[in-house]
């Protein structure tokens, strides 16, 4: 497949995973088609045996449809480029990429340290599945606790998310990587926020990067996708075997859609980031705003780490509002442009009223008595986004005072 050796990610993302020229016609489509297949056929038995041998060595050799063919390979290449990794393994959702990671590195009797700012459903995975299988998790706050006091003889995995879910708490990945190395732990980072384009945990010392491609990689709110990327051969082998044994698989059409999304990731991400900063600037001047959570925003507690470790930002922010619970509900209901819903990373603005109970588990949260609203700032005109927020804040308060 054609590719580029540029050091610029924007260039690499336009040239990764393109179709080979047809040897007879000398032509090729610009965009790789979706190669749908449930199985593959071989020219002869020795070709099949050769593929099996290469697969046994951990190479990407296809013997059956579950791993997919050209479209899947192209998307894996895109994730490798994004994350600066050597191997990428696809899963049918971001959460299944997370379960692949836990299944690959934990066995019965093992223990993992997990950051308390982690994507909520990880706790469900812990409660519903991992415990039942004899694995134990300790949640900790990486910016407040040293892992030295928490590591046990059976600790195998250090699993964190940076910036964290809901509040975008920046973690010091290089420092965590040093501690993980000292205790011989695998450091895995949920990098959905950065999606490889603006943040690369593998380059900061992590061995595994987990991405929900559902978000910015897909970018159009029309597919579910996950990927696990590594630059460590042994870890890659473990992920490869676990992925295959557990039957993780995605459709060629979803791989194709994600590849289509990847091409415009650079322009989308930059635009989301610009709009989010404009919204932050406007929010700061509003009396209802108690605190803004957005690492690119200069007063964010993680801003220095963001400057050191990230190459850009995105459209995610959270804002603590001095609104009573009923007012916060009215604010959200009054929004016109923002869809009320989970997820983010698509083209559109979304709002989530974060449950106060959920926040108690995040030690970064220190704004009790406020309402936390998470916003995904979409690609709409920022003036319209801001006007919508303004009218909704006014509506929340006018009704509250009965005017």
Residues making contact with ligand PLP (CB under 6 A): 93-95, 119, 161, 165, 190, 192, 212, 214-215, 224, 226, 343
> What separation in angstroms does the CA of 159 have from each of 77, 91, 111, 186, 207?
24, 18, 11, 8, 11
Nearest residue (CB) to ligand PLP, 62 versus 187:
187
Nearest residue (CB) to ligand PLP, 12 versus 224:
224
**Which one of 80, 81, 156, 215 is the catalytic residue?**
215
Shortest Å, Cβ 93 to ligand PLP: 3
Count Cβ atoms below 10 Å from residue 30 Cβ, excluding itself.
6
Asked whether 156 and 111 are in contact (CB, 8 A), the reply is yes
Q: Which residue is nearest to ligand PLP (CB)?
A: 94
Nearest residue (CB) to ligand PLP, 87 versus 214:
214
Asked whether 319 and 313 are in contact (CB, 8 A), the reply is no
> Is 66 annotated in the active site?
yes
**Which one of 89, 119, 216, 364 is the catalytic residue?**
119
Shortest Å, Cβ 183 to ligand PLP: 25
Nearest residue (CB) to ligand PLP, 13 versus 166:
166
**Which one of 66, 123, 329, 397 is the catalytic residue?**
66
Shortest Å, Cβ 225 to ligand PLP: 6
Q: In the structure encoding, which two tokens stand for residue 134, read together?
A: 């004899």
Q: Of 2, 21, 26, which is closest to residue 77 (Cα–Cα)? A: 2
SS (H, E, C) 88-116: EEEECCHHHHHHHHHHHHCCCCCEEEEEC
Shortest Å, Cβ 219 to ligand PLP: 13
Shortest Å, Cβ 248 to ligand PLP: 12
3-state helix, strand, coil in the chain (%, to 5): 40, 15, 45
Q: Of 2, 1, 4, 9, which is closest to residue 203 (Cα–Cα)? A: 9
Phi, psi torsion values for 28, nearest 5 degrees = -155, 150
Q: In the structure encoding, which two tokens stand for residue 237, read together?
A: 């082998």
Distance, CA of 347 to CA of 221 (rounded, Å): 7
Nearest residue (CB) to ligand PLP, 163 versus 236:
163
Shortest Å, Cβ 310 to ligand PLP: 15
The position carrying tokens 């191997």 is: 87
210: three-class secondary structure by DSSP: strand
Nearest residue (CB) to ligand PLP, 11 versus 249:
249
Q: Which helix (H) or strand (E) is 234 found in, with range?
A: helix 233-246
**Which one of 110, 116, 126, 190 is the catalytic residue?**
190
> Is 293 annotated in the active site?
no
Phi, psi torsion values for 76, nearest 5 degrees = -60, -40
Active-site amino acid positions = 66, 119, 190, 215
């Amino acid at each position: 497949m054609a590719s580029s050796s540029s050091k610029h990610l924007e260039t690499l993302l336009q040239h990764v995973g393109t179709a080979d020229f047809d040897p007879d016609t000398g032509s090729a489509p610009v965009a790789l088609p979706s190669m749908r297949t449930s199985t593959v056929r071989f020219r002869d038995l020795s070709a099949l045996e050769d593929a099996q041998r290469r697969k046994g060595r951990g190479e990407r050799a296809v013997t059956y449809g579950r791993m997919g063919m050209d479209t899947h390979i192209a998307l894996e290449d895109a994730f490798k480029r994004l994350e600066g990794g050597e191997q990428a393994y696809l899963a049918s959702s971001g959460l299944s990429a997370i379960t692949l990671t836990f299944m690959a590195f934990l066995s019965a009797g093992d223990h993992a340290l997990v950051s308390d700012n982690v994507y909520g459903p990880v706790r469900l995975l812990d409660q519903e599945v991992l415990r039942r299988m004899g694995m134990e998790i300790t949640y900790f706050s990486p910016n407040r606790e040293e892992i030295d006091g928490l590591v046990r003889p059976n600790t195998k995995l250090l699993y964190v998310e940076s910036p964290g879910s809901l509040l975008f708490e920046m973690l010091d990945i290089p420092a965590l990587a040093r501690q993980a190395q000292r205790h011989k732990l695998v450091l895995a980072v949920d990098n959905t926020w950065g999606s490889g384009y603006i943040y690369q945990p593998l380059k900061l010392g992590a061995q595994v990067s987990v991405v929900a491609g559902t978000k910015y990689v897909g970018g159009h709110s029309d597919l579910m996708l996950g990927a696990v990327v590594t630059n460590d051969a042994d870890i890659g082998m473990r992920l490869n075997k676990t992925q295959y044994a557990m039957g993780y698989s995605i459709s060629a059409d979803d791989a194709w859609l994600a590849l289509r999304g990847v091409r415009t990731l650079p322009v989308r991400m930059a635009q989301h980031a610009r709009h989010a900063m404009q919204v932050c600037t406007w929010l700061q001047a509003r009396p209802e705003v108690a605190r803004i959570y957005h690492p690119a925003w200069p007063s964010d507690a993680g801003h220095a780490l963001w400057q050191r470790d990230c190459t850009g930002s995105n459209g995610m922010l959270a804002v603590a509002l001095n609104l009573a619970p009923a007012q916060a509900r009215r604010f959200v209901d009054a929004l016109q442009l923002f869809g009320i819903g989970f997820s983010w990373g698509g083209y559109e603005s979304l709002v989530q009223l974060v449950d106060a109970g959920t926040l108690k588990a995040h030690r970064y949260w220190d704004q009790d008595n406020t309402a936390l609203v998470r916003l995904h700032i979409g690609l709409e005109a920022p003036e319209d986004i801001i006007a919508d927020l303004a009218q909704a804040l006014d509506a929340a308060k006018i009704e509250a005072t009965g005017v």
